[in-house]
Structure formats: structure tokens, C-alpha cells
Chains A and B, each alone.
Chain A
């Protein structure tokens, strides 16, 4: 067996809690992460020779603490702040420590992209290289981003603690946003190495499940887990052999991942069972669940989906939600009603350059027999499409419209 891969695996398992318990000791997340990295490097050097210790987590923590004490002795300062280090026995991180780490990594003083990098690095145990490859950014850039983020946290004196109760909803929302950003970065990838980015989506789901176990009373965490898993269940079918997108309608449902669907539906059920007001992630998960439950596209419960989009438009109004809602209107009330709903959105400048607006409008016009207008609309949408595949697809539909 490859020793290095084993050390990496052990690291992935333990690093989050290691950084969390070190942060509790030194009260500085940046320093804690540096010490944890020192211990990891030591493990990479020693374990392939000596074998994996019986208690790898304990070994890493003891080694990191020793590094911390060495550094403090060397610098000969800050004795009082780190007095704890000499006294306390190594104690593993509590759930609260790990949760505090998640909230610090996703703190609002940081930029969105720094939060994602820091979360993957500190909680997920990914290397700078892995994060760089996943985000299509040089690993040096990720390294700088992480250093800068640690400095920002230190300068802002962000405490290593859970948010106050009155802050919690907003802070939790920020955490969920980061996880979903990581997920979509992997899932919705239009370029880059698909397999690396798939790992990124899996990492986001894993972080979501960890968070759900830490905050079992928060429905939105389960909602986000459900949303990610239900979307990811379609991973294999959403693109064709040449990477061209395959519409939901045309996907081979027998290849959807039933394990992810089952787990996602269970997570959604848990969110609902908590009997608290549902948030936007849970409502989106409920929409995804309607698709997952339908054996064939024709079996889709569009009335339920339309009701959920109505709810979502209240909870988290956005032009994209409005646009997706028109698709549900089409299947419930027909193309004319959908076109009317779409025209209400037409004034929104955010949709003006969004290719899917034109793609949907073109499709509706076509269904109404207005072929010339449809072709024009589809061509315009093609000119705005972000990928070659989508452009080709729209051009082909435009050409077919006037045949």
C-alpha cells in the first residue's frame, strides 16, 4: 500500500479537529493551522518508515503541541498567552471546537473566496495544491489567499467561539453559502478537470453532513445537504459523452445515484420534521426531490414544483428563481401562461444578458407556433451562451425552429 496516500487519508480524517483543538490552545487560528501543518509534514516523513501510530490523532496533536512550545521558547515571548500549552494534556477537540472553527473560517470579515479556501484547508484538510486545481487557480494564489485570510482574522481579533444567538442565523447562512459555493464550483463546472471538481462537490457534501451532525436542530443545514445530494445524484447523466449538457427531460434516470437520492430524501425529511420555518435551501431541495421521485419526466409533479417556486420567490426572490418558475408554469398552465409570466421578468436588467432567459423564451414561442420569433430569440441566446456546447445546442434549436 502507498504509505503517502495512507498518511494523506489519516490527515483528511483528523485535520479539522486537530486544527480546532490547537486553536483552542493557542487562540489563533492561523498559528494553529501552521502547527498542524508542521505535524502533518512530520507524519509524512516519519510514518512511511515507522508505520501509522495506533492513535494517529493523538500523535498529530502531541507533535503539533511540541512544535508550538518549541516556537514559543525560541521566540521567548507571549508566555502568558500560551501558558496553557505547558499545562494541559493534549485533549481532542470537542464538537463545539470544530463548529467554532467552521464559523471562524466562514467569518464575514473574509471575502467569499477566502472563506471557501480556508474552509477546505482547515476543516476539510485539503492541500493548497488540491484547492488550486479545483478552483483552476495557481496553488501559489491559494496559498497567498489563505495567508491573507489568516492575517485578516488575527487583525480583526475574531474570537474562537460560536456566534452569539442573535447573530447565529446570519452567520449560519454565511456558512451554508460557502458550502454551496464549493459544491457548485465542482458540480456546475463548465471547464477544468471534471474528476477533480467532482471531488470538490463531494467535499462540500461531506462538510455539509459534518455540519448537520454538529447542528442537528437547524433545518436549513439538512436542507442544504439534501439539495447537494439530490443534485449530485444526477452527476453521471447531466452531460453527454462529449461534455454537452443533457436536459433533465432527456436524462437516463436509471443512472441516477439511488444511494445519494435516498440519503438526500432522508435529509429533507429530517429538515421538515424539525417543524421550523423552512429556508430557501430546503425549498430548493424539495423541488429537486420532486424530480428525484419521478420515475419518468412525464411523471413529474409540476403543481407541487410550482407551489414550491412560489414559496421560494417569497423567501429568496431572484430573477433566476423567477425564470425557473416559468418552466413550472409551462407544465402546469401551458405555454401562453408561461410566456406571460416570463414577460413580467423581462424588464429585469439582470436577465438581459442571461442566455437561459432567451433559451426559455425561444422554447415557449416555438410551442406557441411563433417560429420566426423563436428562431430570433434562440440565436440571441446562443450569442450569450457561456460555453461552446450550449451555444451549439441553441444554434441547432434556432435552425430547427424555421425548418
Chain B
């Protein structure tokens, strides 16, 4: 019987040892290759965003994070990634963002990355559309939530107002559980983590780290090929003005089936027919001026300041003809941009490109709210020198009042910058 039992249970024993060994030991894995990093950096893949390995490797190789949301996936020939590749810029783009990643998602998912960016540069595209009454959508937060980054954040010393505010906001998203949940409660209450929670978090963090190392290598993305195809449509050399002209031409050619200047494919797929009629005047009551998102933004600013990162902020516009059609109030948009700019400037973040005044230009927007063609060229006109120039270390002076409910609800006049 003993022999038989060994035959049955022996393999089980081996399996257990192998699995726990692979997951819980602090193993070392080789760095990803240049090709892997290149593919991951433009893949917009969720695993890249919520993992550590690829992002860190990219920064080591001199990639510059472009933090944003859905606009990053609009890869026409004038997209930052395409221009960087085509014209052999001294930087590469690490695209971080997808539909639904707002400030809080980015704050959690980029914790390990932000620490590696000390003294470096970041481009940050802030969409006014994030600043709704509810702020970060909890379903999107859960979708992009990174348990790895979260447990890493919790294992560092936590205490100040920003940390406590962050913990409260993350708890409000309602998707955390187990040790992470318990630890967040402690941080929110300003208490130290108990040792069982800390031990559990540490094991969990190691496990997730190994997982990230093991599985981030199986990534396949069609985006590098897409970028190369897009780059092929560009001339070998071009000035900004030539690029803008080409972008205008291309944009007009691609948006002919509608009066809004929206990409034909997008319009056909999403807005055709009854759908369009229903949307007339539908955005009259939209309001981006009062939102918890302003304090979530402050969390990111806090990280930028702590790590002395030079940040180029970009505030994209909404397609003006589309805004007129849906009744999106123009004053509200101006005031939203003003409020964001005020929050940035008053704390020393001076590199801001506010594009909201350019909403009317032709071929500027690829669809309703996403930059395209000439819009990207305008971005490049600012971003390119920002990234090529040597900049002095920034000096930021943060203010806690931006975490208050009062600030979230404050409405600023357009001239109040």
C-alpha cells in the first residue's frame, strides 16, 4: 500500500514544492530585450500598465512616459509615438493609459514607475472629461487596478495627508479586499499596519512580482507594426509647418462623411443614424468644474513633486462643432481648463499646453474628444522641445487645500488664472 500511496501523492508533493517555490522565492529574471520593451511601450496593454517590469525596463532605456487616457490609442501618422520613431528623436514614448484611466488609476498603477523617474520628464495629457461629478469611474478603476503596485505602495512608510486621502479614495472604489483592504483602512485612519497584515502584504507582493516577471513576457501587440505603417506615410524630413499642412490635408480626407470633422470610420461605427439624432443637445448639463478628480490630480502632482519630475501638461479640447451640436457649454469648458491650470500654476507646474482654445481648427480632432492629425502636430510642437531641452530641476510648492471638498466644488471664472 505504501508504494501505491507514494505513487499517488508523490507527484502532488512535487507540484506543491514547485509552485510555491516559483511564486514565493525572490527569484531573479533577466531584463526584457529592446524589442520586447519597444513592443510593450506602445502596446497600451493592461498588463503593461498594471505591471512593473516592462515600465521600469522602458524608463531604464530612456523612454518617456506619456500618461493619459483614450487619446493615446488614436495612432494616426502624427501620433507622438509615430513622430518619435520616424524622425529618430532622442526619446521614445512609453504610452500609459486607455479609456477610463483617470488620475486615481494612474496614481496607483504608476507607483513603482514614479519612483524611478527622479529628475526625469513626463508628458501628462489631462482630459477635461475625467472631471465629472463622480470622478474616477469605479468599474474602470477595478479594470486597471494593479494589486502589485497597490501592495508596493502600502509597504512603504505611509502617513501624511496625501497618503490618507489616497487610501480613502481607493477604498471608495470598493474593489479591494483581504490584506490590501485592511492595510488601506489602517492608512486611511493614520495607523501603522499590524504585522500579520504587513507579512501577508509582503508575501503577496513577492508573489505578484514573480507573476509579473513570469507573465509580462508573453505579450503580443500589433501596435509596433501599426506605427511603422503610419510612419511610412510621412516624408523623410519636414518642418512643423509642413507637418501641419500635411496633417490638415490627411485629416480632411479622412473625415468626409459628416459635418463635424470626425474620422469617417468612427462616425460610421458609433454615431450613424438614429444615434446621432439622439445626441443633439444631450450634453447641455455636463459639468466638469466640480469633481473629486481635482484632488485625485493633486495626488499625482504630489508624486511628481516628491520625485522632482519635470512634467509637460496638455489639456486637449473638445471638437467645437461637435460641442455645439451636443450643447456642451463653452463657458463651462473654459472654466474647467482655468481651474486645472490654476491648480497647476499655483504649485509651480508651469509647462502647460492648453489646447481648449483651438477647438475650432480644422483636422485638429480625430473624433469628438480625441486629438488627431493637426492636434497631434500641435502637441509635438510643444512636447518635442520640452523633451530635447535640458531643464533645471523643478521647484514645486504643494498646498494641502487642493485635497479639500471645498476646492473640488470651487468654480473659477475664466480670467482667474
Are chains A and B native binding partners rather than an unrelated pairing?
no
> Chain A residues in contact with chain B, CB under 8 A?
none
Task: Give me the interface of B with A, judged by CB distance under 8 Å.
Answer: none
